[in-house]
């Protein structure tokens, strides 16, 4: 790997916690979405959040990326950044938290008026002020790795959903984040396109990237995740190794949810 490529989180210290969140709480008006969530993500670890819609799993991700400001809770990042969301300064610190992670959206949210290459270099060049030539070279390398060589000058509308989502992933990687956040990255895709996107995410996991993935793909979670967290009604119902949570859950609610996903009829 060339030195210009983004380095996945340091795999030599896999046990060190990268992100620790405690007591995360968020309401929209009178509706309490997150009641009190604790979360620990170690370097190089893949954590998947599963649960019925409305369980709050997407809100957790959005809080980690500063798209929502939680009402309470503390986030500690790699021992160097601590954000107490209950304090008034949290709003500014949330931006620091955002700098350390990158988000991949369910609906890709690519910039439709920019080409694939422009989408990818926008953050590195405009925000991180890296030299444009370097950013372009890195973008080309990353696009090649996800099989999108030759699409640099295409506009998003010219790509399939799977290709668009792979661009979305590359756009996140190009920011050289320490933590990747995936918000149901395959939920908007046609079934035959899901595999190509999951394959890319799995490859990144194998390379040692640290990631939090909200997903309904249980087979993917079982294969890739180090920890599965089942959420319902704004609380963590059960967490643990995928083999336990997905095959032999302790909680009845988890069992029902997993059964329903595996046997929809």
Which one of 33, 39, 135, 175 is in contact with other proteins (CB under 8 A)? 175
Q: In this structure, which long-range contacts are made by residues 76-85, counting pairs with CB atoms below 8 Å and at least 24 apart in sequence?
A: 76/17, 76/19, 76/20, 76/21, 77/18, 77/19, 77/178, 78/16, 78/18, 78/19, 78/178, 85/24
**Residue 110 interacts with other proteins (CB under 8 A): yes or no:** yes
**Residue 117 interacts with other proteins (CB under 8 A): yes or no:** no
**DSSP H or E segment with residue 104:** strand 101-104
**Residue 107 interacts with other proteins (CB under 8 A): yes or no:** yes
* CA-angle at 21, arms to 127 and 96, nearest 5°: 20
Which tokens go with 136? Answer: 């372009």
**Residue 122 interacts with other proteins (CB under 8 A): yes or no:** yes
With contact defined as beta carbons under 8 Å apart, do 24 and 73 qualify?
yes
- Tell me the site size for other proteins, rule CB under 8 A: 26
Residue 29 CB, nearest approach to other proteins (Å): 17
**Residue 129 interacts with other proteins (CB under 8 A): yes or no:** no
Which one of 65, 165, 178, 210 is in contact with other proteins (CB under 8 A)? 65
Tally of CB atoms within 10 A around 54: 14
* 30 vs 129 by CB, closer to other proteins: 129
With contact defined as beta carbons under 8 Å apart, do 162 and 189 qualify?
yes
Which tokens go with 23? Answer: 């007591």
Which one of 44, 123, 162, 242 is in contact with other proteins (CB under 8 A)? 123
* 46 vs 167 by CB, closer to other proteins: 167
Which one of 35, 98, 130, 140 is in contact with other proteins (CB under 8 A)? 98
* 65 vs 215 by CB, closer to other proteins: 65
Cα of 53 vs its chain's centroid, Å:
17
- Footprint on this chain of other proteins (rule: CB under 8 A): 65-67, 98-99, 102-103, 105, 107, 109-114, 122-123, 126-128, 155-157, 171-172, 175
């Amino acid at each position: 790997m060339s030195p210009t490529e983004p380095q996945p989180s340091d795999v030599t210290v896999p046990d060190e916690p990268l992100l620790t969140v405690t007591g995360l709480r968020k309401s929209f008006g009178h509706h309490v979405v997150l009641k009190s969530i604790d979360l620990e993500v170690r370097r190089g670890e893949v954590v998947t959040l599963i649960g019925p819609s409305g369980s709050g799993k997407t809100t957790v991700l959005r809080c980690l990326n500063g798209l929502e400001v939680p009402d309470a809770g503390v986030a500690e990042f790699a021992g160097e950044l601590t954000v107490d969301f209950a304090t008034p300064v949290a709003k500014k610190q949330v931006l620091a938290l955002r700098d350390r992670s990158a988000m991949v959206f369910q609906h890709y949210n690519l910039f439709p008026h920019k080409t694939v290459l422009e989408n990818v270099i926008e953050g590195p060049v405009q925000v991180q002020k890296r030299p444009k030539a370097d950013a372009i070279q890195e973008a080309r390398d990353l696009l090649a790795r996800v099989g999108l060589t030759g699409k640099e000058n295409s506009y998003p509308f010219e790509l399939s959903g799977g290709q668009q989502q792979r661009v979305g992933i590359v756009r996140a990687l190009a920011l050289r984040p320490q933590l990747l956040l995936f918000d149901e990255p395959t939920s908007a895709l046609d079934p035959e396109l899901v595999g190509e996107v999951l394959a890319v995410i799995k490859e990144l996991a194998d390379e040692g990237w640290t990631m939090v993935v909200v997903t309904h793909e249980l087979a993917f979670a079982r294969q890739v995740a180090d920890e599965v967290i089942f959420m319902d009604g704004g609380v963590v119902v059960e967490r643990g190794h995928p083999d336990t949570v997905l095959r032999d859950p302790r909680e009845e609610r988890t069992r029902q949810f997993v059964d329903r996903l595996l046997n929809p009829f």
